[in-house]
Chain A
Amino acid sequence: MKTGAKILIEGLLRQGVTTIFGYPGGVVLPIYDELYDSPLRHILVRHEQAAAHAADGYARASGKTGVCLATSGPGACNLVTGIATAFMDSIPMVALTGQVPTALLGNDAFQESDITGITMPVTKHSYLVKRTEDIDTVLGEAFHIAGTGRQGPVLIDLPKDVVTNEAPDPVPQKEISLRGYNPTFKGHPRQIEKALSMIAEAERPVIYAGGGVIASDASPELIRFAEMTGIPVTTTLMGIGAIPCDHPLNLGMLGMHGTRYANYAITECDLLITIGARFDDRVTGRVQSFAPNARIIHIDIDPAEIGKSKMVDLPIVGDSRHVLTCMLDRLTGTTDRSLWNEKINHWKVEYPMACPDDGVLRPQLVIKTLSDLLDGEGIIVSEVGQNQMWTAQQFCFKHPRTWITSGGLGTMGYGLPAAMGAHFARPDPPVFDIAGDGSIQMNIQEFGTIVQYDIPVKVVILNNMYLGMVRQWQELFYDRRYSYTELPSVDFVGIAAAYGIDGMRVDSADQVKEALSAAIDTEGPFVLDFRVEREENVFPMVPAGAAINEMIGGEKK
């Protein structure tokens, strides 16, 4: 016989979990007691939201399922934003929450909240475990559900008596089979055949690759497929890193803040090959005008994404990597698409994603310099807003799983805790959190965690004393009425120092390189406060409701 807590921790270890992120509290005391002398490493965060984001960052950097733990009531509720972030970006995560004893369930007990109910719309699945003997089975199912098909977060709610009571040693589970859950992994051969003939017929095809390519680790297959077919590739925010930025076939990011050449290519293409992407509104702009001249192939693991936002001509439901491998196996010869690629290269020259270099401390310059110094190596995490878009535009990503950002939910405060998680997943590469002065203050308490575990995260704050992206919209669409978007100057170096973290304030463009080098050369964490040009905007930009070829900014100089 073993306690539920012991069954839980042993179960986590059996799932291959080495690190979890959490915060203790009343009803999870039995679990924490079990953790006290367990080989399972627990990272104590400063706020439960950070535990969820750290687990998410861990998952994105490693491809493994991230795990977070919180107590009932407020602890569980604080996880919600992190769970929703993982849900929107299809990130595998298991969230464990304590719950009041089963006898008190529904009684408005102290620190009770119906967390399975609260998280129902933002989890792939959830469990309220009512019997100790079910813990091991539920854990197995949760990891299976989180990590297969279209990945996502699964929540397990554990009442205190369920983890305190004893049950017989669980027998190791056989392969998990759930009759209501059979994700399609293999693409249909006939559909793949049809796709290949559509590709052969196309004169101006474009590949539009999303987070699904990263999730299925299909980057090598994608690159080979693009090279063999001569088809240029544009990636979504989530797909960045799937193809190296400096690859001749890479068009960069498309959509609202995408490159002009990617958006033009989409508008002029005659075949759009969508791989692991979902026609998000930030990508498509006015959806009726998205790829208006193209037949569309849509490869996705989730059948519900087919035809959800855009009607497609040929759906292939399956794992991106598997489908690409099948297509590569059947490719016969290459097609000459030099005319199309020449046209695209002409756009690239005409409308480059340039970095302003005019001696002014502009945010783009900081990102570009960092990119050059790291030569595309390292893990770059971002917050949300202008900082995120400038990084997506200016940093030259060379590998998948090196760009970690909250895409679908757009969660400010995501970056710092996600960077901590990324470090525990991959301790070797340097980890940078690119932040704005707004978003860093949403989870700045995690400086405490960084110090406690000596996590060598470098925080790059692009400080414009504004909520920059909202200010940009106010400038462009609300007649410069800056309603509640101005922030007072904050001494971030001073805050870092108070936590015991080194830092540096940077006020001019000529200090950028030196400051970033200092951060790279520092063993431990480091905070850089760049006082950037305050009213810099992210361009090009597709205004809300416009077609993606109707961009503001980024014209030829």
Chain B
Amino acid sequence: MNVHTLSVLVENRSGVLSRVAGMFSRRGFNIESLAVGTCEVPEMSRITITVHGDDTRIEQVKKQLNKLIDVIKVSDITYHEHVRRELALIKVVANPGSTRAEVMQIADTFRAQIIDVGSKTLILQVVGPPEKIDALEKLLRQYGVKELVRTGTIAVLRGSKTTAGE
């Protein structure tokens, strides 16, 4: 069992996301995370999907994705040099004079930014590979995480190669 990162180029049309998501649920594939947005070509979108499974299962996921008419290209970048990033916003309890200083110190260690200071809470913005966000979240739990929002992983190949082909 491996986590695979798929970069999927799709037509930027209504219903594409539900076609992709519907295929995953219908065939019993589990999506770890999914992030979608516009890309360098105006009429296309890029979906980054991380999915668990052994190689045969992932092969089937890729083939089923490719069968969708609105899917233009599926790239499994797992075994290629790539960078993965996720952004998270974490609202954490941090009372002045109590734990606030500690939370700020942890944020600093993780190079997370404090983007909102409330009377009892801080909002941390952290960017990194999902494991880093997991680690930060785990550390912050003891102070009380009131809300956690994650974007899902996005990924891109290193160097000049692209998933769009030439």
Interface pair B15/A304, CB less than 8 Å apart: no
Interface size class of A (residues with CB under 8 A): 10 to 19
Contact A145 B67 (CB under 8 A): no
Given known pairs A178-B69, A180-B70, A181-B69, the reply for A304 and B64 (CB within 8 Å) is: yes
- Asked if B162 CB lies within 8 Å of chain A CBs, one says no
Q: Find out whether the CB atom of A121 lies under 8 angstroms from the CB atom of B60.
A: no
User: Given that A120-B19, A128-B15 are contacting pairs, would A180 and B72 also be in contact in the complex, using a CB cutoff of 8 Å?
Assistant: yes
CB distance from B58 to the nearest CB of A (A): 11
Bound: A81/B11 CA distance, A = 29
Question: Are A304 and B19 neighbours in the complex by a CB distance under 8 Å?
Answer: no
Bound-complex Cα distance A117 to B72 (A):
21
In this assembly, does B26 line the interface, its C-beta being within 8 Å of a C-beta of chain A?
yes
Number of A-B contacts (CB under 8 A): 38
A424–B69 Cα distance when bound, in Å, is 31
Closest A residue to B22 by CB, please name it: A120
A125 within 8 A of partner (CB) = yes
Partner pick for B56 among A120, A121, A307, CB 8 A cutoff: A307
Interface residues of A in 113-128 (CB under 8 A from B): 116-117, 120-121, 124-125, 128
Known contacts A120-B22, A128-B15; is-contact A302 B69 (Cβ 8 Å)? no
CB pair A180 B11 closer than 8 Å:
yes
Contacts A120-B18, A120-B19, A121-B26 given; does A303 touch B69 at CB 8 Å: no
Whether, in the assembled complex, A190 has its beta carbon less than 8 Å from a beta carbon of chain B, the answer is no
The complex places the Cα of A306 from the Cα of B63 at a distance, in Å, of 9
CA distance A375 to B35 in the complex (A): 60
- Kindly report which residue of chain B lies nearest to residue A126, judged by CB atoms: B15
Q: Would you list which residues of chain A between 520 and 541 have a CB under 8 Å from chain B?
A: none
| B71 close to chain A: CB less than 8 A | yes
In angstroms, how far is the closest chain A Cβ from the Cβ of B62? Answer: 9
A557 contacts B by Cβ under 8 Å? no
**Residue from B14, B69, B72 within 8 A of A145 (CB atoms):** B69
Cβ contacts B149-165/A at 8 Å (1 or 0 each): 00000000000000000
CA distance A303 to B60 in the complex (A): 9
Residues of chain A contacted by B14 (CB below 8 angstroms):
128
Question: From residue B60, how far is it (CB to closest CB) to chain A in Å?
Answer: 6
Instruction: Classify the secondary structure of A's interface with B.
Output: mixed
Among A116, A180, A181, A303, contact of B15 (Cβ-Cβ < 8 Å): A116
The answer on a CB contact under 8 Å between A125 and B60 is no
Set of chain A residues within 8 Å of B30, measured between Cβ atoms: none
The answer to whether A121 touches B22, judged by C-beta atoms less than 8 angstroms apart, is yes
A179 close to B66 (CB less than 8 A): no
Bound-state CA distance A311–B72 (Å) is 27
Please, which residue of chain B has its CB at the minimum distance from the CB of A125? B69
A304 with B63: CB separation less than 8 A? yes
A322 to B10, CA, bound (A): 30
Contact with A along B6-18 (1 / 0, CB 8 A): 0000110011001
- From A117, A128, A308, A311, name the one whose CB has the most chain B CB atoms within 10 angstroms: A308
Q: How far is the CA of A236 from the CA of B126 in the complex (A)?
A: 56
**Residues of B contacting A180 in the complex (Cβ-Cβ under 8 angstroms):** 10-11, 68-72
A308 touches B11 (CB 8 A): no
* A125 neighbours in B (Cβ, 8 Å): 69-70
Distance in angstroms between the alpha carbons of A179 and B165 in the assembled complex? 13
Bitwise interface map of A from 287 to 312 toward B, beta carbon under 8 Å scored 1, else 0: 00000000000000011101110010
Query: With A and B bound together, what is the CA distance between A145 and B68 in angstroms?
Result: 11
Cβ–Cβ < 8 Å partners of A116 in chain B: 15
Q: Which of B59, B64, B68, B72 contacts A179 (CB 8 A)?
A: B72
CB distance from A304 to the nearest CB of B (A): 4
Task: Kindly list chain A residues whose C-beta atoms are within 8 Å of the C-beta of B66.
Answer: 303-304
Q: Using an 8 Å CB-CB cutoff, how does the interface string of B47-66 with A read, 1 for contact, 0 for none?
A: 00000000010011001101
Within 8 A of A (CB), among B22-48: 22, 26
Set B22, B59, B68: member contacting A307, Cβ < 8 A: B59
Determine if B19 and A124 form an interchain contact, defined as CB atoms under 8 angstroms apart: no
Q: Which of A117, A125, A180, A311 has the most CB of B within 10 A?
A: A180
For the complex, give the distance between the alpha carbons of A497 and B162 in Å: 70
Minimum distance in angstroms from B100 CB to a CB of chain A: 46
A124 touches B60 (CB 8 A): no
Contact B60 A308 (CB under 8 A): yes
On chain A, the residues within 8 Å of B19 by CB distance are 120
How near does chain A come to B23, taking the closest CB pair, in angstroms? Answer: 8
Rounded to whole Å, the gap between the CB of B50 and the closest CB of chain A is: 21
Residue among A117, A128, A179 with most chain B CB within 10 A: A179
Are A304 and B18 touching (Cβ within 8 A)?
Answer: no
Q: Kindly identify, within residues 75 to 133 of chain B, every residue whose CB is under 8 Å from any CB belonging to chain A.
A: none
A467 to B72, CA, bound (A): 46
Q: In this complex, what residue of A is CB-closest to B44?
A: A179
- Expressed in whole angstroms, the minimum distance between the Cβ of A3 and any Cβ of chain B is 25
Measured between beta carbons, the chain B residues less than 8 angstroms from A308 are 60
Tell me, rounded to whole Å, the shortest Cβ–Cβ distance linking A397 to chain B: 31
Contact A304 B67 (CB under 8 A): yes
| Cα–Cα distance between A117 and B70 once the two chains are bound (Å) | 15
What residue of chain A has the Cβ atom nearest to residue B70's Cβ?
A180
B18 partner residues in chain A, CB cutoff 8 A? 117, 120
- B25 nearest in chain A by CB position: A121
Q: Chain B nearest CB: distance from A141 CB in Å?
A: 8
Q: List 10 A-B contacts (CB under 8 A).
A: A128-B14, A128-B15, A179-B72, A180-B10, A181-B69, A304-B60, A304-B66, A304-B67, A306-B63, A311-B56
The 6 A-B residue pairs with the shortest CB-CB distance in the complex, in nearest-first order: A304-B63, A125-B69, A180-B72, A181-B69, A121-B26, A180-B69
Extra contacts, 7 of them, besides A180-B11, A303-B66 (Cβ < 8 A), are: A120-B15, A120-B18, A120-B19, A125-B70, A128-B15, A304-B64, A304-B67
Chain A residues proximal to chain B, CB less than 8 Å: 116-117, 120-121, 124-125, 128, 145, 178-181, 302-304, 306-308, 311
Q: Which residues of B contact A (CB under 8 A)?
A: 10-11, 14-15, 18-19, 22, 26, 56, 59-60, 63-64, 66-72
